[in-house]
Chains A and B, each alone.
Chain A
Amino acid sequence: MGQILASQFVYNWRRNVSAIAGSAIILACVLIVLFGPLVAPQNPYDLTQLNLLDSYKPPAWIEGGDPRFLLGTDGQGRDVLSSILYGTRVSALIGIAAMLMACTIGTVLGLLAGFYGGRLDAFIMRVADVQLSFPSMLIALFLMSAFGTGIDKVLIALTLVGWVVYARTVRGSTLGEIQKEYVQAARVAGLRDAKIIRRHVLPNVLTPLIVIATVQVGTFILIEASLSFLGVGVPITQPSLGLLIKNGFDVLFSGLWWTSVFPGLMIMAMVFGINLFGDFLRDELNPRLK
């Protein structure tokens, strides 16, 4: 299917405005993650570059703005644009890393549950069911209050929240795949279970995960932002977009809106782009009903 799908994929993509918009936003985010710190006017973590005299400057185009600070500054005289460029990196990397961890763990558990069935399956799926009956945000919040703050802890919390959807999807596809004759052919060839799972089942259950993983990065960015906003997320030394919003939130209603609104817009744009693209992927990769 490789070539046909690939070209059909591109063909449909070029005819889908929201898919193109989503891809453009994602591309922009990727560039920011990769090169943001290089182009940032300032290193917001470097206290020697900060000057308290520059605090709370409005965006450059507003009366009293400073052309050095395009999107204004915060209470420490930190350039908001630079904070966003650095913060996007933190947010996006947390989202992606947590997604990869959740995906790996969920996929392995789903493969084992589907392939072996029985008690193992029942156990894994009951845990998953229990977890699904609570909102992810609540679980994450609970875990973070138990663990304390820190990027590693955020990653663990997000992984624990996110594995279930992979496990369930992979288990379902695995049940379907192991019925197929090519898996039986592998048994007749004499392959060990581990090899059958790795070489035959795994490659055939991955496709539906692409959509889930894409959308999940967006969800994770939002959860992380919420956690940080509530003060149980990343530490103050590595501010993510969520933490930037929180920092600006205290002064939001005194008219100093730019310190939290711009990071907020950045999150919105990022998640919006991911979801646009995710929707397109879903239409493309789902079993074709056409």
Chain B
Amino acid sequence: MTASAMAASATTAAPAAPMLEVENLEQRFPLRSGIIDRLTFEGGRPRLVDSVVHAVNGVSFSIAKGEVLALVGESGCGKSTVAKSIARIYTPSGGRIRIDGEDVGAYGHRAMLPVRAKMQMIFQDPFASLNPRQKVRDIVAEPLLEQLERRGEARAKAKAREAAVALLERVGLNAEHAGRYPHQFSGGQRQRIGIARALSVNPGLIIADEPVSALDVSIQAQILNLMMDLRDEFGLAYLFISHDLSVVNHIADRIGVMYLGFLVETAPRDRLFSAPRHPYTRALLSAAPTIDPADRAVEIELEGEVPSALALPSGCCFRTRCPFAYDRCAAERPTLQDVGGGQSVACHLIDEPERDRP
């Protein structure tokens, strides 16, 4: 925790209260399955086991006001789950989530409502994230409408719709689009609608879960530009989730690398790309294809695949694929350690650098 807090203050001048502070976030999902699937035999005796997905296992980080923190990692490593726990789509199984200083981890629906004016979310799928039966103006107005109704304002609906039309123009659509349905728009335009919806309550933090992954490159560039313009204009902080390192390199101030529900490394952007420390980060950078052959520095090539989140390996989460793994890695789980320069790494090699050789 302290490490990432320091990292945050390294990139912002005044160490004001962070916009978002996540401490030891845990999210488990019990898998509800039929009796037959749960039945196992141990020593000849039948036993019912409840399997649990360990989606997020003690993740800590913080985001300063106006900062962009990117989370990267392969699919299933828990990026979206972190996002959705913070957005309180899920109720976290453990840990603390402080938004603008307020711990919202255990808030109920009613207590959460005012917090939702400070934090909104942009989703990955431009098709599934908009209700096909709602007009664009109502989609965009929805979060604001809830806030206006909470405050008991008169003419809430009309006000929210007016604001929605103005927002559509801000994100590059126009007022005529307000009365249309989502299917009449292209993927990029739909993503703009989703961004307008998130902006409607004028939040300080936007959680963006792979906002450009479903888009073509030329459209992806448009949306990234728009998001950066909006950050400058409204002082937004982003939790930006992506699996695309070139996108992250472009947009992030700081980057966290996740593997199997653990945060294995966090560092300021340039440092992460120039001096990655964790073996997984290094493998990820090696694997990413680039259009520029000169950028290609294959250091670690990974074999095998990510283990199941149903049965985490003992010790280090990465040891089943790590080329450096040794006995300590199976016995002891490494924790994030500050290695200076705002970088923190969860790997035993930090203590035993002489082993960092294939």
Contacts and interface: CB of A to CB of B under 8 A. Distances in A.
B133 A188 contact: no
A182 B131 contact: yes
Contacts of B72: none
Nearest to A183: B131
B135 to A, nearest CB: 11
A224 B122 CA distance: 52
Contacts of B128: 180-182
Contacts of A189: 116, 120, 142-143, 146, 197
B125 A181 contact: yes
A2 B194 CA distance: 21
Nearest to A5: B183
B124 interface: yes
A204 B150 CA distance: 27
Contacts of A2: 181
B121 A190 contact: no
A187 B142 contact: no
27 contacts: A1-B132, A2-B181, A180-B129, A181-B125, A184-B121, A185-B121, A185-B142, A185-B194, A186-B142, A187-B89, A188-B87, A188-B88, A188-B89, A188-B120, A188-B121, A189-B143, A190-B112, A190-B116, A190-B150, A191-B142, A191-B146, A192-B109, A199-B134, A200-B134, A203-B133, A204-B132, A204-B133
B84 interface: yes
A190 B147 contact: yes
Chain B CB within 10 Å — which of A185, A186, A192, A203 has the most? A185
B113 interface: yes
Contacts of B143: 188-190
A184 B131 contact: no
A184 B146 contact: no
B129 A190 contact: no
Interface in A67-85: none
Interface in B126-140: 128-134
Given A2-B181, A204-B132, A181 B116 contact: no
Contacts of A181: 123-125, 128-129
A190 B146 contact: yes
Nearest to A204: B133
Interface in A186-211: 186-192, 199-200, 203-204
Nearest to B119: A188
Given A184-B84, A190-B147, A191-B146, A1 B183 contact: yes
A134 B124 CA distance: 45
A181 B130 CA distance: 7
B123 A184 contact: yes
Contacts of A199: 131, 134
Given A188-B120, A188-B121, A191-B146, 16 more contacts: A2-B181, A180-B129, A181-B123, A181-B128, A182-B130, A184-B121, A185-B130, A185-B142, A187-B87, A188-B89, A188-B143, A189-B116, A189-B143, A190-B147, A192-B109, A203-B133
Contacts of B112: 190
Interface string B157-192: 000000000000000000000000101000000000
B83 to A, nearest CB: 10
B197 A190 contact: no
Kindly list the 5 A-B residue pairs having the minimum CB-CB distance in the complex, ordered from nearest.
A181-B129, A189-B143, A203-B133, A181-B123, A190-B146
Nearest to A191: B146
B307 to A, nearest CB: 25
A2 B87 CA distance: 33
B116 A204 contact: no
B133 A185 contact: no
A35 B324 CA distance: 86
A107 to B, nearest CB: 15
A223 B133 CA distance: 35
Nearest to A203: B133
A104 B130 CA distance: 26
Contacts of A190: 109, 112-113, 116, 143, 146-147, 150
A184 B121 CA distance: 9
A279 to B, nearest CB: 26
Given A1-B183, A2-B181, A181-B124, A188 B116 contact: yes
Of A1, A182, A186, A200, chain B has the most CB atoms within 10 Å of the CB of A182
Nearest to A185: B129
Contacts of B109: 190, 192
A143 to B, nearest CB: 33
A163 to B, nearest CB: 24
A185 B146 CA distance: 13
Given A184-B123, A188-B87, A188-B120, A204 B142 contact: no
Interface string A160-188: 00000000000000000000111011111
A200 B146 contact: no
Contacts of A180: 125, 128-129
A192 B87 CA distance: 15
